[in-house]
C-alpha cells in the first residue's frame, strides 16, 4: 500500500486542468531525448495528451508543481504490468506485488526535478519496477541514483527492448 503521508506539497495528483501542461512536458522531454542521442524511445507523438488522459482516468498521473503549474510528470500504476511478466537476463529482485513507474518527464532537464519525483516515489512505495531505453542514459543514471537496480531486459508491446530496473526497500 502507498504511504500517503510521504507526498511533499509540490508533488500531487494531476487534475484535468494540468493536461495541457503535461502534454507540453512530454513534447519537451521528447525533443530533449531526440537531441541527445535517444531518437527512438518515444516515437512520433508518444506520449501525448491521450496518454495523459488515460493515466488521469486511472488515477495514476502525478505532477511536480512548484507553484506556477506542472514542471515534471510521471505515471505510477499498480502492477502487475503484462510487459514485465517475461524478463531476460537478470530476474526481478522479488515476485511480491509492485508498482510501476512510466513516462517520467521534466519540462527542463538539469534542475533535479526528475530526482525529486523518483525520491518521492521510492519514499512512498517499497517495491517499484521501471524500464527505459538503452539510449536513455540520463534516465538510467537517475534510476540508479534513486536506488533502482538494473536487472534484465523486457520487451515492449511494439517489440522493442528496454532495460528493466527494480527498487526494493
**What is the full per-residue pLDDT of the chain (169 aa) written as tens digits?**
444 444 456 999 999 999 999 999 999 999 999 998 888 888 888 999 999 999 999 999 999 998 889 999 999 999 999 999 999 999 999 999 999 999 999 998 888 999 999 999 999 999 999 999 999 999 999 999 999 999 999 999 889 999 999 999 9
Phi, psi of 63 (to 5 degrees): -130, 155
- Of 140, 151, 123, the C-alpha closest to 62 is 123
Total-model pTM: 0.91
Query: Phi-psi bin for 29: left (phi > 0), alpha (psi -120 to 50), beta?
Result: alpha
Q: In the CATH scheme, what architecture does the domain 4-168 have?
A: 3-Layer(aba) Sandwich (3.40)
- Of 128, 74, 123, the C-alpha closest to 102 is 74
Amino acid at each position: 500500500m502507498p504511504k500517503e503521508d510521504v507526498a511533499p506539497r509540490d508533488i500531487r495528483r494531476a487534475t484535468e486542468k494540468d493536461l495541457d501542461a503535461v502534454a507540453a512536458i512530454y513534447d519537451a522531454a521528447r525533443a530533449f531525448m531526440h537531441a541527445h542521442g535517444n531518437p527512438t524511445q518515444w516515437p512520433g507523438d508518444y506520449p501525448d495528451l491521450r496518454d495523459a488522459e488515460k493515466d488521469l482516468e486511472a488515477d495514476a498521473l502525478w505532477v511536480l508543481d512548484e507553484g506556477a503549474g506542472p514542471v515534471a510528470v510521471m505515471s505510477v500504476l499498480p502492477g502487475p504490468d503484462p510487459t514485465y511478466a517475461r524478463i531476460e537476463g537478470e530476474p526481478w529482485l522479488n515476485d511480491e506485488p509492485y508498482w510501476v513507474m512510466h513516462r517520467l518527464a521534466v519540462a527542463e532537464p538539469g534542475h533535479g526535478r526528475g530526482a525529486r519525483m523518483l525520491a518521492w516515489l521510492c519514499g512512498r512505495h517499497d517495491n517499484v519496477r521501471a524500464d527505459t531505453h538503452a539510449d536513455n542514459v540520463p534516465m538510467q543514471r537517475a534510476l540508479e541514483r534513486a536506488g533502482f537496480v538494473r536487472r534484465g531486459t523486457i520487451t515492449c508491446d511494439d517489440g522493442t527492448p528496454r532495460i528493466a530496473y527494480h527498487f526494493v526497500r
